[in-house]
Structure 1
């Protein structure tokens, strides 16, 4: 690549990346960013397409300048998805650092933000070489279909830390809406009504930043198509794209249901269980769907039992499946799953020998710490009794400390003997989780 053209790009990116942006929503992952900044390892930001990975880079850069007093001259940003990098090849990497030093004349530790670097072959060797420089801290984003966590581990063994970037949580959605959440808001009728109104909007729009910004969920179907045709097709040798599309539509219509490989095989008409397994692995790799296993102390039984499947964004699920919107219970369960994933919880479902099911078991260390049931409507005593019975069976089986039922609008604590069960509305649980909880 022509050296002068590359120099122009470095200067242009310096101005645009460091420009003050007031339209970006602070992400909760930034609260834990100090440990990522402090250590030497390369930070890989990955996650769903259009989930805001590049914006997160910009937010981290802002924190470096404002919170850690890093001079702007110590920051380099490059976006390798820019079509002007089409002539860039492996041999041009050495020019980047040379030009950066000429333009910026940095002092102290330097911070490199490399967006979509996987578009250039041989990037790993250059990043490894940069890593050897004690004064350079590296942040990378990568398209999920081109730069997977497993590949990072191979390229940068023991030298990387991964941040999974999700669409907006409900709390981040409230920040976008300029609503400052306070704990006392839950006890004020007017503010509670405002939060619940925003929650209905969140159910409609989901958490993709651009969708929230333009207030138009119709683009979500295009996001789905882009994931299939731009992330999956270029990377994986799939001859029958119709099969994986039909699998996606079925999964989106039946979220939170238990699916065996044999069941999915017959539904989408493939001939091999290995093909179904491969499709599900691909959908997880591109952060479109997730699987959770049945909890069992036997790893073998965990693997061979059917899994439950959830989607990256409930509004995205709505956009590709008419049936999805007809079942608010599935939407609620999916939102709870996503929040638990954002909190890095180790999640399972559980089924007793008598067939009683618990939606989520949360494992902390070697212990099952919490059991969660999600039930949209508890108006019928039979429904409440069923959910409580399942939780109590799980408590007896695993000696669980915390039992929770998440529902539409009921907010009480029930005592069954010496056992307390927290019943809480989903909108409130999404607000208080992580921010106000001290358990």
Structure 2
């Protein structure tokens, strides 16, 4: 195994780093803590690692001081937790002069596939002169393991597929600062492309058929590697049937009861606790997200129906079953992912009169956002319904500002509790901060 590791380490030191499009994720390493980057698979975590390595090299760190291993590499399959120590043995046998003398930068990709990795990383940080960077596609596993085993010696950042601004970076379109008419038209045209392709870095620029095929492969890998294999699920068909139902119903309400009933109607014997677990695991893998009603009582929030959203709106169109997904729900999904990049605190809101607002996002305080999503405000009844619900919520929550995200419309509406900005989706996405 040591010879194999040495070969992998040396091979990596010889390749040019594929750094891709710089990401707008402000990761700040803290001395004595591992830097952890978690997110859905294929969102660009490995490329982001290479960007961090390139920055280190630009500040004078030698390539030999950077150790990189990707634990999805088949050659590392036999590396079980009882012999992770051979990694350091292999590295220091190549560079014995660096041990305890120079800082070594360790980058471990998808380390969660190796059972018992945490004590190894913990020991590495306590015993060696190391700075450690980790990626993983499992929020719960990483956060739980880090909390229990690494005792505050790690800081986590989330990585999502390209935001709209990152997509503009990929296209080479300048989006910071005020927009001239020409620049605005360029940004709007790029938004139409982003609307079609979504944010996964590899699908940008692919034709429609290749994009759909790539998305479908991603989805299958997410389901089988991040759910079925990781949790040793004995009825994988129930999980895939559930995942497809949820994607077909993105932006819609669900309850555990109706999901359990649906699976039963297909002949699956999945009890309610199993269905709850599946939903938690979808979220854990950053594939599907649950949004609860805004309620001070957790018990009430849990008994009310919940909404489901996907990590990428274009992934929905590529894997939905041909039942045309409501484009209003797709727009809602796009807005959800933009909000989720900034905060995990997202709920839907029901006013005392029973009117619904799509999102309340952020913690208590003036930065909290109330967002309604509506494809078009042209119909007077729709306009009245959306603004009334938002105005009621603003009054009840003592907020003086609300937002309605549309496909193309823009205006400002004064209401008793303050002002409502009606903004097109492209402008809403540009106005969003990149991360918390």
Does structure 1 conserve the Cα–Cα contact (< 8 Å) formed by 2:137 and 2:286?
no
C-alpha deviation, 1:352, in angstroms: 2.0
8 Å CA contact 2:343–2:361 kept in 1: the answer is: no
The structural deviation recorded for 1:58 is 0.7
- Asked whether the 8 Å contact 1:145–1:235 carries over to 2, the reply is no
Match of 1:13 in 2: 12
Q: 2:153 aligned with 1:138, yes or no? A: no
Deviation for aligned residue 1:339: 0.8
Provide the C-alpha distance between the structure 2 equivalents of 1:127 and 1:418, rounded to a whole number of angstroms: 52
Cα offset, 1:409, TM superposition: 0.9
Aligned pair in 2 of structure 1 residues 4, 247: CA closer, same or farther (>3 Å)?
Answer: closer
CA positional deviation for 1:424: 0.4
1:244 is matched with which residue?
239
Cα offset for 1:417? 4.2
Paired residue for 1:256?
251
> Using the alignment, how far apart are the partners of 1:156 and 1:114 within structure 2?
16
* 1:255 Cα offset (Å): 1.4
Asked if the contact 1:145/1:231 (under 8 Å) is kept, the reply is no
Deviation at 1:268, TM superposition (A): 2.4
SS in 2 for 1:297: coil
Gaps of 5+ in 1: none
Cα contact 2:317–2:325 (8 A) shared by 1: no
Equivalent position SS for 1:40: coil
| CA drift at 1:412 | 1.6
**Deviation per residue, 1:188-234 (Å, 9 max, x gap):** 0x332222221121122111111115443121111111222222221
Deviation at 1:171, TM superposition (A): 1.0
Instruction: Please say if residues 244 and 321 of structure 2, whose CA atoms lie closer than 8 Å, have aligned partners that are also in contact.
Output: no
Provide the residue aligned with 1:181 in structure 2. Answer: 175
**Is the 8 Å Cα contact of residues 37 and 134 (structure 2) preserved in structure 1?**
yes
The answer to whether the Cα contact below 8 Å between 1:368 and 1:398 also exists between their aligned partners in 2 is: no
2:21 match: 25
The alignment covers a number of residue pairs equal to: 426
Alpha-carbon deviation of 1:48? 1.0
Question: 3-state DSSP class of the match of 2:194?
Answer: helix
- Report the more deviating stretch, 3-12 or 281-290: 3-12
Q: Report the alpha carbon displacement of residue 90 of structure 1 after superposing the two structures with TM.
A: 4.3
Partner of 1:405: 404
Within a 5 Å distance, the mapping from 1:82-97 to structure 2 comes to: 82-90=73-81, 92-97=83-88
Q: Distance in 1 between matches of 2:222 and 2:382?
A: 38
3-state SS of paired residue (2:68): strand
Give a deviation string over 1:94-118, Cα, whole Å, max 9, x none.
3433443454544543321012233
Equivalent residue runs for 1:119-198 within 5 Å: 119-133=113-127, 135-144=129-138, 147-185=141-179, 187-188=180-181, 190-198=182-190
Whether contact under 8 Å (1:247, 1:268) holds in the other structure is yes
Output the CA distance in 1 between the equivalents of 2:321 and 2:185.
28
Query: Could you give the per-residue CA deviations for residues 126-157 of structure 1, whole angstroms, max 9, x where no partner exists?
Result: 21111214731111123439954323323323
Give 1:328 deviation, angstroms.
1.5
Pair 1:265-2:260 in alignment = yes
Aligned twin of 2:72: 81
- Note the 1:12-411 alignment, pairs <5 A: 12-16=11-15, 19-21=16-18, 24-29=20-25, 32-34=26-28, 37-66=29-58, 68-90=59-81, 92-104=83-95, 105-106=97-98, 108-133=102-127, 135-144=129-138, 147-185=141-179, 187-188=180-181, 190-215=182-207, 216-218=210-212, 219-269=214-264, 272-322=271-321, 325-365=324-364, 369-411=368-410
Q: Residues of 2 paired with 1:14 and 1:290: CA distance?
A: 38
* Alpha-carbon distance in 1 for matches of 2:220, 2:390: 39
What is the distance in 1 between the residues matched to 2:432 and 2:396? 25
* Alpha-carbon distance between aligned partners in 1 of 2:157 and 2:389, rounded to the nearest angstrom: 34
2-side partners of 1:279 and 1:345: how far apart? 19
Distance 1:196 1:311, change over 3 A: same
Gaps of at least 5 residues in structure 2 are none
Most deviating of 304-313 and 156-165: 156-165
Distance 1:356 1:111, change over 3 A: same
**Aligned pair in 2 of structure 1 residues 80, 369: CA closer, same or farther (>3 Å)?**
closer
Name which of structure 1's ranges 321-330 and 343-352 shifts more when overlaid on structure 2: 321-330
Cα distance change on mapping 1:145 and 1:414 into 2, 3 Å = closer
Matches of 2:323 and 2:103 in 1, distance apart? 50
Kept in 2, the 8 Å contact 1:407–1:426? The answer is: yes
Query: Which SS does the other structure have where 2:27 is aligned?
Result: helix
TM-score, with length taken from structure 1:
0.89
**Conserved 8 A contact 1:48-1:165:** yes
Aligned-pair Cα RMSD in Å: 2.5
